[in-house]
Amino acid sequence: MLSIGDLSRRTGVKVPTIRYYEQMGLVAAPERSEGNQRRYGRQELERLAFIRHARDLGFAVEDIRALIDLSGHPEQPCGHADKIAEEQLISVREKIAQLRRLETELERIASCCDGKTVGDCYVIRALSDHALCADEHG
């Protein structure tokens, strides 16, 4: 049996986060030692690794909850799981597109500044005046 610290080290999920997931119902409350400390087995390790992996991929906790529910019903059609992953992909692509626009704008702002004082700093001027932006953003 693993202590919460062991589980943390094995999954890379921090100890308070594991307790938080338990509180949120993402992981079941585990057995306890005589002294009331959490003791985990292989199943909990696997579930937490699943959660960690999904969080790394940017899935929201609610999505993860749905995916866990689905994984408990292996006979059901998997269209729902596909849909969640698909939507996550779309959302990631949107974020990338948005960040690329910001990158372009920030590059332009930072590279144009050749002023010596704040008074003629392009960074400050660009922020004050949206019209200086080449691009639409935000």
Partner DNA sequence: TCTTGAAGCTCTAGTGACTAGAGCAATTAC
Partner DNA sequence: GTAATTGCTCTAGTCACTAGAGCTTCAAGA
* Residue among 15 and 123 whose Cβ is closer to its own copies: 123
List the Cα angle 90/12/27 in 5-degree steps.
75
Name, in order, each residue with C-beta under 8 angstroms of 17's C-beta and a sequence gap of 6 or more.
none
**Residue 83 CA, distance from chain mean position:** 18
Q: How far is the CB of 20 from DNA (least distance, A)?
A: 4
* Residue among 34 and 129 whose Cβ is closer to its own copies: 129
Q: How far is the CB of 125 from its own copies (least distance, A)?
A: 9
Query: How far is Cα 126 from Cα 138, in angstroms, rounded to an integer?
Result: 15
Q: Is 15 in the site for DNA (CB under 7 A)?
A: yes
Name, in order, each residue with C-beta under 8 angstroms of 9's C-beta and a sequence gap of 6 or more.
none
* Residue among 3 and 88 whose Cβ is closer to its own copies: 88
From candidates 28, 57, 60, 78, binder to DNA by CB under 7 A: 60
> Interface residues with DNA (CB under 7 A)?
3-6, 8, 14-17, 19-20, 33-38, 55, 60-62
